[in-house]
Each structure stands twice: as C-alpha cells, then as structure tokens.
Amino acid sequence: MPPDAFADVEADARPGAPKPDPILVIDGIQRTFGGLTAVDVSHLEIQRGTITALIGPNGAGKTTLFNLVSAFDQPDAGSWTLNGRSLRGMQPYQIARAGMVRTFQLTKSLAKMTCLENMMLAAPSQAGESFFKALVPSTWRAQEKVIEEQALGLLERFNLIHMRDEYAATLSGGQRKLLEMARSLMTEPDIILLDEPMAGVNPALVQSLLTHIEALRDDGMTVIFIEHDMDVIMGISDWIAVLAEGRVIAEGTPDQVAQNPAVIDAYLGTGFGEEG
C-alpha cells in the first residue's frame, strides 16, 4: 500500500476531489454519440503511484473515457494533462511516448508475431526503427540485445517465458491478456490504463495477475483499471472512481465507496456486503 497517499483526501472524498500529487488530471471531458452523452467528466485527478479502479455499470462510459484520454477517440470538449503536460490534440502514439500506455478490452495481440517479437516491438526509442538505420544493422544490434534481455525478463515475470517463440495467436485468452500487459510495460510507462485485465482470465491466473499489478504499483507506476469483479476491485485498489451515465458520481477508498448510498443505488445493488 502507498503510505497514506490519501490520508488528507479521505476526509474529503467527493467526485473531483483534489489529490496531493496527481499524475493525470482530467477537466471537462465530454463525448457524445448522437444524442447520447457517453462521457461527461467535469474533473478527475489520479494520484501518482496508486492503483485506481474505474468502476460503473455497463454503458457508464469507462472504456470511452480510456479511449478519450489515450486519443483513440476525440472528445467534443475538455482537456487532460499528464505530469502537468497537456495531451489534447496528440496522437495515440505520442501519448504512449509521453508515458501513458493502455491495454484493450478486446485483447490486441499481434497474432502472427512471436511473443518475444510482441514484446520487443514496444521498446521505446529504437534506432533500428528508422528506415535508413534499419539498413545498417551495426547501428541497432547492440540495442536489440538490451531490449531482448528486458523482454525476456518481463516474459519471465509474467509466466510466459516458455511461449517466447510461439506465435501470439497460439496463446490462450488469459495468456494474451498477460502478454498485452507485459508488452505495455516494455514502453516504460509512468501510468498504465488496463481495460478489464481480468475478463476471461482463468480464476487460477487472476491471483497472479493481481500480484503483478500490485508489483507495478510498488515499482512506482500508476495503474488505472476498469473491472467488474468486486472482489478484485475491493482487494487491490487504493482508490475507486465510480462512473454512471458518463459522470463521476463518487470517489473514495474501497470502504467509502462500498458504503456510499449513491454507488450502491447506481451500481452495486442493495445486496452488496451482505454475503460477506
């Protein structure tokens, strides 16, 4: 657990509550699809070095919000900053380079590339990715070795090392989730957005995924994740933001959110907590 990052905020847990050291700040982001307002977040701050869960009923706009901040979709209005730097108008690849990387709800593994290639692709600032340098292997061979070591280390950590030379298409659904997460880490991000990292993952693997996510946080990374499994959410999040109909309706620690009547109404249903 991060040492009392939320000590002051906890007393003032309301939608849009300011954080002591926010890495990502979202202001007035709006996105409509025809007459439907999918996202309308007036203010949201994400504390650095914590695990923040983004929850809400189906259609609450969680994935759309991810798409907007990672520039895979463009908002109608609003701005957002990463480490104080505005990301508005940037392309997705620029945002990834700025230190914010995302995964997808429907896993995007590069099917006809091996796991190792999937990993090595994502390493930042590769000399051999320039057309002219690509023609002269001596300009990138050494870097390639370093990247390979790094990729193998991550594959090891995510229990995928035995699949290093297999096509990503041959992985199971859960393994693909792991691969995509590991690949994102190759970009050396400051903050990682995970869209339903546990969906479709074998329960036996979930525990190891959770351990990985906590390990990321302990390495100093910021994690935001979308999830539906309440046990998972309550188990690992330091902070929870609740979305409903595109708006942030509540924020707080897991305990606070679990007891918030608005959240219980909108999302958890009246039964939560009774089964223990």
**Alpha-carbon distances of 94 from 71, 123, 161, 245, 247, rounded to whole Å:** 9, 14, 30, 29, 27
Chain centre distance of CA 244: 19
* Residue of 47, 50, 63, 70 that binds other proteins (CB under 8 A): 70
Residue from the set 126, 150, 159, 256 that interacts with other proteins by CB under 8 A: 126
Region binding other proteins by CB under 8 A among candidate stretches 2-10, 110-118, 206-214, 266-274: 110-118
Q: Helix (H, G, I), strand (E, B), or coil: what is residue 88? A: coil
Q: Which of 104, 158, 239, 267 binds other proteins (CB under 8 A)?
A: 104
Report the distance separating Cα 14 and Cα 242, nearest Å: 11
The distance from CA 114 to its chain's CA centroid, rounded to whole angstroms, is 23
Q: How many CA atoms lie within 13 A of 191 on its CB side?
A: 24
Contact call for residue 183 and other proteins (CB under 8 A): yes
Give the three-class secondary structure for 51: strand
Q: Any contact of residue 18 with other proteins (CB under 8 A)?
A: no
Are the C-beta atoms of residues 19 and 9 closer than 8 Å to each other?
yes
With binding defined as CB under 8 A, does residue 170 bind other proteins?
Answer: yes
Residue with Cβ nearer other proteins (45 or 196)? 196
The answer to whether 155 and 119 have CB atoms below 8 angstroms apart is yes
Total site size for other proteins, rule CB under 8 A: 47
**Which of 38, 46, 96, 221 lies at the binding interface for other proteins (CB under 8 A)?**
96
Length of the chain: 276
161 counts as binding other proteins under rule CB under 8 A: no
- Choose, by CB under 8 A, the member of 121, 152, 161, 264 that binds other proteins: 121
Which of these ranges, 30-38, 45-53, 102-110, 228-236, lies near other proteins under the rule CB under 8 A?
A: 102-110
Tell whether residue 186 is a contact of other proteins (CB under 8 A): yes
User: DSSP letters of 122-181?
Assistant: T-SS-GGGSHHHHT-GGGTHHHHHHHHHHHHHHHHHTT-GGGTTSBGGGS-HHHHHHHHH
User: Which residues from 75-94 bind other proteins, rule CB under 8 A?
Assistant: 76, 91-94
Taking CB under 8 A as the binding criterion, the range among 12-20, 43-51, 108-116, 224-232 that sits at the site for other proteins is 108-116
Q: Does 230 bind other proteins (CB under 8 A)?
A: no
Give the three-class secondary structure for 45.
strand
Query: Which of 1, 146, 169, 215 is close enough to bind other proteins by CB under 8 A?
Result: 169
Residues facing residue 230 across a β-bridge: none
Q: Which residues bind other proteins (CB under 8 A)?
A: 70, 72, 74, 76, 91-94, 96-97, 101-104, 108-113, 117, 120-122, 124, 126-131, 133-135, 137, 140, 144, 163, 166-167, 169-170, 180, 183-184, 186-187
